[in-house]
């Protein structure tokens, strides 16, 4: 069996730093879907989320020497993605504010049609209705499937704070989506 399928993220990353390009591909394929789901949940734009997934891994590669071997890789990758998503939101706000660029935004989503599309739109609206900090924690937990400790590391808060934000965020989501059961 290929060792890459069983290897930890940190081992794959170490192999990449040692010059094994296939290890980086394996690592990327492991992260692509959950990271894209999370960024989509934060930005509500699948195309933008895909761009940021690629950009996140470019940064991971560029700053590979900054990664401290005694820490976990997953929170580091999600922290990079978080910073990129914040910058993207800031640019989007500015673009909406500037009149000349207001018409630049085009719908670029590849959303499924029909009932699935409606459900997706409802869930996107429900996530968007959450306060930013609750939305981030809910997205990291529900879409990226990070542990509470990892979320605390990414957001720079305590596990207690993460639990609290998750509790209130999920309660609000249940209220908003209750009729979709």
Partner 1 sequence: MTDDECTALVRRAHDVPSRNLWPRLAARLREEAATELVRLHFPPVTWRVAAALVAAVVTLVVVPEPARFLAAFGML
Measured from the CB of residue 46, what is the shortest distance to partner 1 in angstroms? 6
Per rule CB under 8 A, is residue 110 in the interface with partner 1? yes
For partner 1, the binding residue among 142, 146, 153, 154 (CB under 8 A) is 142
Task: Report how far residue 163's alpha carbon sits from residue 13's, in angstroms, rounded to the nearest whole number.
Answer: 30
Q: Closer CB to partner 1, residue 52 or residue 152?
A: 52
Concatenated DSSP letters of 27-95: HHHHHHHHHHHHHHHHHS-HHHHHHHHHHHHHHHHHTGGGS-TTS-HHHHHHHHHHHHHHHHHHHHHHH
What the block records as the tokens of 98 is 């500037």
Residue from 87, 69, 58 nearest 15 by CA: 69
Which element (helix H / strand E) includes 121? helix 114-129
Measured from the CB of residue 21, what is the shortest distance to partner 1 in angstroms? 8
Measured from the CB of residue 94, what is the shortest distance to partner 1 in angstroms? 25
Per rule CB under 8 A, is residue 178 in the interface with partner 1? yes
Measured from the CB of residue 99, what is the shortest distance to partner 1 in angstroms? 32
Per rule CB under 8 A, is residue 157 in the interface with partner 1? no
Per rule CB under 8 A, is residue 10 in the interface with partner 1? no
Q: Closer CB to partner 1, residue 85 or residue 142?
A: 142
């Amino acid at each position: 069996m290929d060792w890459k399928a069983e290897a930890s993220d940190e081992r794959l990353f170490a192999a990449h730093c040692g010059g094994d390009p296939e290890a980086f591909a394996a690592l990327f394929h492991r992260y692509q879907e959950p990271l894209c789901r999370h960024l989509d949940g934060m930005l509500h734009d699948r195309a933008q989320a895909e761009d940021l997934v690629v950009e996140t891994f470019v940064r991971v590669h560029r700053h590979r020497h900054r990664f401290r071997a005694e820490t976990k890789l997953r929170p580091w990758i999600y922290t990079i993605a978080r910073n990129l998503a914040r910058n993207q939101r800031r640019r989007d706000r500015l673009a909406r504010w500037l009149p000349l660029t207001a018409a630049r935004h085009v719908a670029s989503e590849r959303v499924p049609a029909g009932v699935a599309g409606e459900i997706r739109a409802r869930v996107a609206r429900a996530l968007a209705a959450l306060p930013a900090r609750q939305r981030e924690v809910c997205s990291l937990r529900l879409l990226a499937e990070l542990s509470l400790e990892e979320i605390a590391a990414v957001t720079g808060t305590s596990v207690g704070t993460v639990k609290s934000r998750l509790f209130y965020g999920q309660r609000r989501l249940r209220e908003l989506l209750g009729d979709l059961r």
